[in-house]
Amino acid sequence: MDVKELIKELSSLDGPSGYEKAVLELIEKKIEPLVDRVWYNKVGTLIAEKKGTGSGRLGIFAHADEVGYVVTKLEKGLFARLETIGGVDPKVIFAQRVKIYTAKGIAKGIVGVLPPHLQKEEHRSKVPSFDKIFVDLSCSELGEYVSVGDICVVDVKPVELNGKLCGKAMDNRAGCASLILAAQLLRNIRNYQDVYFVFSSQEEVTGLGAVSIAYELRLDRAIVVDVTHGDVKIPQFVQIKTGEGPALCVGPVIDKEFYSKLYQTAQRNNVKIQIEPAPGRSGTDTDEVQLSGTGVRTTLVSIPLMYMHTPVEVVDPRDVEETARLLALATTIE
Amino acid sequence: MYLKELTELDGVSGNEQQVREFISDKIKDKVDELKVDVLGNLIAYRKGTKGGRKIVLAAHMDEVGFMVTNIEDDGTLAFAPVGGVETQVMVGKIVRINGQTLGAIGYKAIHIQDKEQILKPLSIDQLRVYIGAKSKEEAARQVKIGDYVAFTTTFDQENNRLTGKAFDDRAGCSVLMDIIDKIDRYEDDVYFAFLVQEEVGLRGSAVVVEQIHPDIAIVIEGTTAGDDPELPEYQWATHLGDGPAITFMHRGYVVNKRVYESIIEVAEKYSIAHQAKRRTAGGTDAARFARTGAGTAAAVVSVPSRYIHSPVSMIDLNDYNNTVLLLQKILEQGEAFAR
């Protein structure tokens, strides 16, 4: 499997929280030949199980959903209003092409913007809220079929920038790709623990997909794979860099013993890693998975990513490959 | 109609050669003379059957965009707008530098902005173009200071609406090319002027009058619409679907009354849908024609366009076709027009 093609393919599919079906179907197709069995749970999470040679139950999680929009109101003249699914900065949505999933198929739209010639001081001095933002549907044959409740995503195709990949939903399709690649590596590396690859739903809104599975599977350990802010200065924090390998999280939501085993595994096998402190909640599925059932020993592995939750998220495919290697090696931990 | 090809070319003001070459190639065998002047304007000539008057039809080839103004130590590119581009339309877009290198204009994630930052509009000094380079040296192998940067939007046509970048003013360029394709000779000599540098101060048009000494000039534009739910109807400049917009006045110029009224007469005579442009903001090359040399009787006919000066604008196919028809009928009037 070519890592770049895999990430691009996953990024191109649309799957805002609760509507992950197309993404999960592709993942299922890719991972099924690599594992013992696959199934979905009640809340739309996909699980792929690979039995180990020893004992213990390890869940490896990546959320399959992405941030997006939902149509909340229709206006005269084929215009629609949106609200967000997950956290989106309104500053990144102007003059974007969007796709709206209607009952009759995909309608095309454009997020409108006033031209500079018609802007006044009031328009320039503050960022419009989503109440002010509108989608022009007049450029679509299906525009008249758009209804309140239809799901909307930005219409962008991934591009390559000097070997890095740029597009929407790299958060967390990059993570999903690393799980698929890890499953592939398990053809050569025998896993000691039983491994459950979990592609969870609705991380961007509540994280319920991951929590439900952690509970059902009675896991001993979990590795959550998500993305983290790369190549940007965050006051008081070490700067995580793209291209330097995955970031291992340290903090209260991380199990110290499992972390140190994972760290040593990385060291022994020359896996390139970075360390990222999370003094409280991590903002990922890890936070709740740790609290599932009688408690799960959790770690968090994050792929560095630039411009999170924008249509131009950037990941370095080498980081995705390095993450896959770390995950495959982690299954041998006793 | 040449809008797909025209709008997918990059032609930021001062860097119009891709557009000029495309147009030149398509029209060179259909006109009597063709030349490129000192500034880079492409001027085509078709001799009239009477040859008493000279009429210029003009459209500008350039579009708004950016220029690379610095290569930072981290390999990102600082940039400045060429022409009027609001910062709010820049973020989250893929751009093309120098016609080849792709880059992304991103901004830091909402998670790591404080409340004040989230609500505050960005200024351009907070934005960079990222081309995947990690150092100044790596970036400098692909781009240099002064390189032009254009949006990468592809063209689309559906539901009688056309969407893409740079309808201001590739719409005008395409209208002129469609008229050239109609092989008619008219009574008047007709000059088709494809202009440079409109978006940076009506510059290309400044040298046209002295080369032609026209009797009449008509500028064909893609102009602002504003007909959306965020603007009350009384503030709309034009409305998509109501036909070409005819300008009575804009910044720096009150349109020659004789030409303005004659255009409306022709539209009414042939029942061609048309509308007045109902705002006077923004200028066109008509102002430059009117005040250059001994002056020219200049007018403006526009294809209404939503979201201009952004990466994706929209026009109505009927408006476009009616603009071509109106100009064709104007030329057919021959010496009777604007007498």
d(CA A318, CA A316): 5
Pick among B86, B101, B199, B234 to test the A interface (most A CBs inside 10 A): B86
Question: Chain-wide mean pLDDT for chain A?
Answer: 95
A195 and A148 fall within a common domain: no
Q: How confident is the model at residue A113, as a pLDDT?
A: 87
Task: For residue B204, give how far its alpha carbon lies from the nearest alpha carbon of chain A (Å).
Answer: 21
Burial of B160 (0-12, 13-18, 19+ CB in 10 A): middle
Catalytic site residue from B198, B199, B230, B265:
B198
| Same domain membership, residue A144 and residue A110 | yes
Domain count, chain A: 2
Q: Looking at chain A, which residue has its C-alpha nearest residue B283?
A: A117
Residue of B nearest to A141 (CA): B159
**Could you give the CA distance from residue A159 to residue A311 in angstroms, rounded to a whole number?**
11
Extract the tokens encoding A165.
Answer: 């990949």
Q: How far apart are CA B55 and CA B189, in angstroms?
A: 6
The per-residue pLDDT string of chain B (339 residues; one tens digit each, 9 = 90 and over) reads 999 999 999 999 999 999 999 999 999 999 999 999 999 999 999 999 997 899 999 999 999 999 999 999 999 999 999 999 999 999 999 999 999 999 999 999 999 999 888 889 999 999 999 999 999 999 999 999 999 999 999 999 999 999 999 999 999 999 999 999 987 889 999 999 999 999 999 999 999 999 999 999 999 999 999 999 999 999 999 999 999 999 999 999 999 999 999 999 999 999 999 999 999 988 999 999 999 989 999 999 999 999 999 999 999 999 999 999 999 999 999 999 998
Whether B88 sits inside 8 A of A94 (CB atoms) is yes
Within a 10 A sphere around the Cβ of A147, how many other Cβ atoms?
Answer: 11
pLDDT of residue A114: 80
Three-state SS at A153? strand
Angle between helices A170-185 and A317-330 (to 10 degrees): 50
Dihedral sign for Cα B78, B82, B87, B92, please: negative
Please report which confidence band the pLDDT of residue A297 belongs to, taking 50, 70 and 90 as the band edges. Answer: very high
Quick: pLDDT tens for A78-101: 999 999 999 999 999 999 999 999
Measured between CB atoms, which of A127, A309, A310 is closest to B120? A127
Please indicate, yes or no, whether residues A139 and A93 belong to a single structural domain of this protein: yes
Would an 8 Å CB–CB cutoff place B124 in contact with chain A?
Answer: no
A147 and A98 housed in the same domain:
yes
**With 80 as the cut, is the pLDDT of residue A123 above it?**
no
Please report the beta strands in B38-188, taking only residues with DSSP state E, as ranges in sequence order.
42-46, 54-60, 65-71, 77-82, 93-97, 101-105, 129-130, 148-151, 156-158, 161-164
Given a cut of 90, whether residue A54 has pLDDT beyond it is yes
Q: Which of B128, B247, B312, B316 to mutate to test the interface with A (most CBs of A within 10 A)?
A: B312
Hey, is the C-beta of B137 within 8 angstroms of any chain A C-beta?
A: no
Distance between CA A50 and CA A267 in Å, rounded? 25
Whether A258 and A213 map to the same domain: the answer is: yes
Q: Which residue of B has its CA nearest to A116?
A: B86
Q: Of A154, A184, A216, which residue is a domain's last?
A: A154
Do A185 and A216 belong to one domain? yes
pLDDT computed for residue B282 by the predictor: 85
Q: Does the CB of A79 have a partner CB in chain B at under 8 Å?
A: yes
Tell me how far apart the alpha carbons of residues B274 and B322 are, in angstroms, rounded to a whole number: 8
- HSE toward the beta carbon, residue A147, CA cutoff 13 A: 6
CATH code of the domain covering residue A102: 2.40.30.40
Q: Are residues A187 and A308 in the same domain?
A: yes
Whether A89 sits inside 8 A of B230 (CB atoms) is no
What's the rounded Cα separation, in Å, for the pair B12 and A46? 48
B110 and A161: CB-CB below 8 Å?
Answer: no
Which CATH fold would you assign to the domain B3-63+165-336? Answer: Aminopeptidase (3.40.630)
Torsion angle of the four alpha carbons B105, B110, B115, B120, in this order, in degrees rounded to the nearest 10: 20
In this structure, are A60 and A72 located in the same domain? no
Separation between Cα atoms, residue A157 and residue B152, nearest integer Å: 12
Residue B187 C-alpha from the chain's centroid: 28
| Identity of residue B190 | V
Partner-chain residue, chosen from B132, B229, B279, that has the shortest CB–CB distance to A161: B132
- Are B107 and A125 an interchain contact pair (Cβ–Cβ within 8 Å)? no
- Residues 271 through 300 of chain A touching chain B, CB cutoff 8 Å: 283
Contact B245, B327 (CB under 8 A): no
Same domain, A42 and A73: no
Number of Cβ within 10 Å of residue A97's Cβ equals 20
User: From the list A117, A125, A139, which residue is nearest B282 (CB)?
Assistant: A117
Q: How many Cα neighbours within 13 Å face the side chain of A189?
A: 21
Share of chain A above pLDDT 70, in %: 100
DSSP-derived pairing of the beta strands A247-250 and A221-229: unpaired
Query: What are the structural domain ranges in chain B?
Result: 3-63+165-336, 65-151
Cβ atoms B77, B97 nearer than 8 A: yes
Q: Mark out the alpha helices in chain A (DSSP H runs).
A: 3-12, 21-31, 121-125, 170-185, 208-217, 256-268, 286-289, 317-330
Q: Which of A287, A322, A46, A31 is nearest to A184 (CA)?
A: A31
Which residues have a Cβ under 8 Å from the Cβ of B313 and sit 6 or more positions away? B163, B164, B165, B166, B167, B168, B222, B305, B306, B307
Task: Look at residue A211 in the predicted model and tell me its pLDDT.
Answer: 87
Which band of pLDDT confidence, cut at 50, 70 and 90, is reported for residue A140?
very high
* pLDDT given at position A302: 98
Nearest to B208, CA basis, from B27, B40, B64, B6: B40
Residue written as token pair 């996953």: A10
Q: Do A118 and B156 touch (CB under 8 A)?
A: no
Name the residue among A77, A161, A163 with its Cβ closest to that of B130: A161
Residue range A174-199, pLDDT digits in tens:
999 999 999 999 999 999 999 999 99
Catalytic residue list contains B198: yes
pLDDT at A108: 97
What domain range is A197 assigned to?
3-66+168-330
> How many cross-chain Cβ pairs, A to B, lie less than 8 Å apart?
187
* Interface membership of B106 toward A (CB under 8 Å): yes
pTM for this predicted structure? 0.94
Structure token pair of residue B199: 């978006």
Mark whether A277 and A144 lie in a shared domain: no
Residue A163 lies in a domain: no
Res A115 pLDDT > 80: no
User: How far off is chain B from A156, nearest CA to CA, in Å?
Assistant: 9
pLDDT (average), residues A37-65: 95
Model confidence pLDDT, tens digit, residues A197-246 = 999 988 888 778 888 898 999 999 999 999 999 999 999 999 999 999 99
- Rounded to the nearest 5 percent, the helix, strand and coil shares of chain B are 30, 25, 45
- Kindly state whether B254 is in contact with chain A, defined as any CB-CB distance less than 8 angstroms: no
With CA atoms as reference, report the closest residue to A1 among A31, A21, A46. A31
Residue A311: give its domain's CATH number.
3.40.630.10
Read off the pLDDT of each residue in A102-124 and give the average, rounded to a whole number.
87
Mean pLDDT for A9-33 is: 96
B91 closest CB neighbour out of A91, A116, A283? A91
B residues 167..196 contacting A (CB < 8 A) = none
In a domain, A15, yes or no: yes
A14/B293: higher pLDDT: A14
B168 token code pair: 């201001």
- Touching check for B278 and chain A: CB below 8 Å? no
Could you tell me whether strands B189-195 and B54-60 are parallel, antiparallel, or unpaired per DSSP bridges? parallel
Longest pairwise C-alpha distance within chain B: 70
Neighbour-count burial of A264, counting CB atoms closer than 10 A to its CB (0-12 exposed, 13-18 middle, 19+ buried): exposed
Cβ neighbours of A138 in B, within 8 Å = 159, 161, 240, 314
Contact A118 B309 (CB under 8 A): no
Nearest CA in chain B to A136: B228
- What's the pLDDT at B31? 96
Q: How far apart are CA A248 and CA A302, in angstroms?
A: 6
Residue with token string 């000097």 = A162
| Residues A60 and A77 grouped into a single domain | no
Q: Residue A128's pLDDT is what?
A: 87
Give the angle subtended at the CA of A193 by the CAs of A190 and A197, to the nearest 5°. Answer: 90
- pLDDT exceeds cutoff 90 at A120: no
Amino acid at position B284, single letter: T
| Same domain, yes or no: A280 and A294 | yes
- Give CA–CA dist A128/A92, Å, rounded: 11
Q: DSSP 3-state assignment of B111?
A: helix
User: What is the architecture, at CATH level 2, of domain B65-151?
Assistant: Beta Barrel (2.40)
